[in-house]
Structure 1
Amino acid sequence: MSTAFQPEQYESQLAAKRERLEQLLAPFDAPGPEVFESAREHFRLRAEFRLWYENGEPHYAMFEQGDKRKPILITQLPIASRQINALMMPLLDACKADPILGRKLFQVEFLTTLSGQALITLCYHRPLDDTWDAPALALAEQLGVQLIGRSRGQKRVLQTDHVVEVLEVAGRQWQYQQIEGGFTQPNGGVNQHMLGWALNAAGSNSDDLLELYCGNGNFTLPLSTAFRRVMATELAKSSVRAAQENLRLNNMDNVTLVRLASEEVTQALTGVRPFRRLQGIDLSGFEFGTVFVDPPRAGLDPATLDLIKDYRRILYISCNPETLADNLQTLTKTHRVVRCALFDQFPYTHHMESGVLLEQM
């Protein structure tokens, strides 16, 4: 996480990102991107800090990338949520005052939500036993948070290991269980913009959606309202469990969730091989007209590119515009880019999220 914070330069930095995205998409005759800005400060809902000890006293520390020897000691972090900033020093003071909480504590991780919930993980270089529970529970109640203790091979959960986020998309509220250690979008405000854009781009459909890399169902939930049925796929077991819970929390009954990797989805849909995990699921009953992908930074593999080129529409969210452009070299042989967007998830860094809607030619 970058320590850079220069709100006076935000507009110029965002303009540079827009120019970079336009240059990458220019070979594909893409329209100008719709740009979704971030809040200038307090936009990041997650943060983790190493502790740096001077004269036996712990301090929150961050480091410039590639340099772990020169700490930047901090008491506040303007890019982090107001809730994180409010919790930082009371938590550290409590750990200083109680040797059971503070002994060999080396890292603190915060997960907060737009809905006002917070989960804090304390990481130790020592085993934790029952003596840790009582002071930790007292601290959790004092701060109004969920608290988890971690050490090597150990996770002590006092109450729950998750928070519940509430996101509003197109006037509807969605609940998301966010599990400690699981992936969540760090910028909740921009995430709502992404979900709203994807739903608007999807439009209203009488056929079905195939979603690859669904994670905890971040996009699955709102997109399910735009299609008759959805088949959503994800490989990570923890994400699948979270997605299942999120479907339950929101009473969604038109989504079929399958634990498959993207290459396995290709094999299943093309009939190359059967999967036990698909028992009871009639793939022939789906009429997929749109495919939604939100792949990792490496982009889509050749087999997945070959699979999705046969769909009428492709909705592609990318965390790496370079690999998006690389994938478009293949996809624009069969499709044209009709919409694109820039989502400034990571202000004050060079990273950006982007989205494109492609329609078959």
Structure 2
Amino acid sequence: MSAPQFDPSQYDAQLAEKKQRLHDLLAPFDAPAPQVFESPREFYRLRAEFRLWREGEDRFYAMFAAGDKHTPILLEDFPIASQRINELMPRLKAAWQGSKALGFKLFQVEFLTTLAGDGLITLCYHRPLNDEWQAAAAQLASELGVSIVGRSRGQRLVVGRDYVVEKLDVAGRTFSYRQPEGAFTQPNGTVNQHMLNWAYEALGQRSDDLLELYCGNGNFTLPLATRVRNVLATEISKTSVNAALANLEDNQVANVTLVRLSAEELTEALNDVRPFRRLQGIDLKAYEFGSVFVDPPRAGMDPDTCELTRRFDNILYISCNPETLAANIAQLNDTHRIKRCALFDQFPYTHHMESGVLLTRR
């Protein structure tokens, strides 16, 4: 993880540049002005990863500028990270300095926290972990009020839970999310909550079914499922699928069928290219899909998946890369138009942005 250029005095100017960039990319498609959702200026990032750097007898949290892995930026705190992470950083440092069982050959630390106050710390080592480490980690976990995961080559030891629990409010309902260690989660919880509410409103209340591609741990699945009759959701990551299934059960959401397929594989299944054993017992033709929701990786949708979405009257698209979003919209522009769009500032002080569009059939 490279260090961002943290300067709250520049936030408004940087956000204005992002808004203009999104406007320029979507202008060829006659997009309406984007609704802009700002981030908190500080303490917004719920996860952080640090290398440890030795200076004399001490070791420090360290980050690096992009493209430079040899000149560390030594840190005592990290103002873009959550207040919980900033509170944990000095206490963890004191623990590894005061305990050989915890500090010996420790080279990397990862924090995962939630708006709800939960916390998990991953400690990475260049040595095997033994009973002495586990006893010290258990005591530290109790003192800090967190779970701890220890990792070394061929080992993964869990003290407490290997996930945190987030609580997010969407349209007056609180949803609970298990977020596993090592799996993708939205880094900016406040902006994620804005995204969920925007997507909920953009989809609207419907009497037909929803297809969701790239569903992850069910971040969007849970609230969107309350807007439609049934949902067929797909995700390829086994860790994310397991978390999504747990989240569906925890929130008593019963109208979602989740299959572990990539978007490309589901496209083949819907096009009758070939059958998939993981779809056994699922009648794809029984669904009456009126909308599709996609939240693809930075590369966007591949051409075949993009072509698949053309079948649906409504395409709700969340993107972490506006360039690939624009490329996908160009493919769909002859049949669909942009009805709504939004900018979500997940990543202040960087050029990255999250955006959303609702495309409806012309």
> Does 1:258 pair with 2:259?
yes
For residues 118-177 of structure 1, what are the alpha-carbon distances to aligned partners after superposition, in whole Å with 9 as ceiling and x for unaligned? Answer: 000011111111121111100110011101111112111122101111011111100000
Separation in 1, partners of 2:156, 2:289: 41
For residue 209 of structure 1, what is the aligned residue in structure 2?
210
For residues 44-79 of structure 1, what are the alpha-carbon distances to aligned partners after superposition, in whole Å with 9 as ceiling and x for unaligned? Answer: 000011100111211111110111111111111110
| Residue identity in the other structure for 1:249 | D
For residue 81 of structure 2, what is the aligned residue in structure 1?
80
- TM-score by structure 2 length? 0.99
For residues 168-205 of structure 1, what are the alpha-carbon distances to aligned partners after superposition, in whole Å with 9 as ceiling and x for unaligned? Answer: 11111000001000100000000000000000000010
**Equivalences for residues 228-243 of structure 1 within 5 A:** 228-243=229-244
> Does 1:94 pair with 2:95?
yes
Separation in 1, partners of 2:4, 2:53: 16
Separation in 2, partners of 1:62, 1:320: 24
> What is the CA-CA distance between 1:254 and the residue it aligns to?
0.3
Q: Residue 185 of structure 2 aligns to a residue in which SS?
A: coil
> Does 1:109 pair with 2:110?
yes
Separation in 1, partners of 2:159, 2:328: 45
For residue 131 of structure 1, what is the aligned residue in structure 2?
132
Q: Residue 58 of structure 1 aligns to a residue in which SS?
A: strand
> What is the CA-CA distance between 1:266 and the residue it aligns to?
0.9
| Residue identity in the other structure for 2:351 | H
8 Å contact from structure 2 (residues 46, 113) kept in 1: yes
For residue 280 of structure 1, what is the aligned residue in structure 2?
281
**Equivalences for residues 124-163 of structure 1 within 5 A:** 124-163=125-164
Gaps of 5+ in 2: none
Separation in 2, partners of 1:302, 1:68: 36
> What is the CA-CA distance between 1:2 and the residue it aligns to?
2.9
Separation in 2, partners of 1:233, 1:2: 33
Q: Residue 138 of structure 2 aligns to a residue in which SS?
A: helix
| Residue identity in the other structure for 1:241 | N
Separation in 2, partners of 1:52, 1:261: 39
Q: Residue 28 of structure 2 aligns to a residue in which SS?
A: helix
**Equivalences for residues 1-361 of structure 1 within 5 A:** 1-361=2-362
- Size of the aligned set, in residue pairs, is 361
Separation in 2, partners of 1:108, 1:349: 23
Structure 1 stretches of 4+ with a deviation exceeding 3 A read none
Separation in 2, partners of 1:330, 1:198: 22
8 Å contact from structure 1 (residues 182, 239) kept in 2: yes
Separation in 2, partners of 1:84, 1:118: 8
Separation in 1, partners of 2:192, 2:112: 15
Separation in 2, partners of 1:44, 1:23: 28
Higher mean alpha-carbon deviation, 122-131 vs 213-222, is at 122-131
8 Å contact from structure 2 (residues 4, 350) kept in 1: no
8 Å contact from structure 2 (residues 106, 124) kept in 1: yes
Separation in 2, partners of 1:337, 1:185: 25
Taking only aligned residues, the RMSD between alpha carbons, in angstroms, comes to 0.7
Separation in 1, partners of 2:56, 2:17: 44
Q: Residue 226 of structure 1 aligns to a residue in which SS?
A: coil
Identical amino acids, percent of aligned pairs: 65
8 Å contact from structure 1 (residues 190, 344) kept in 2: yes
8 Å contact from structure 1 (residues 2, 349) kept in 2: no
Q: Residue 79 of structure 1 aligns to a residue in which SS?
A: coil
| Residue identity in the other structure for 1:78 | P
For residues 207-254 of structure 1, what are the alpha-carbon distances to aligned partners after superposition, in whole Å with 9 as ceiling and x for unaligned? Answer: 000000000000000000110000000111111101000001100000
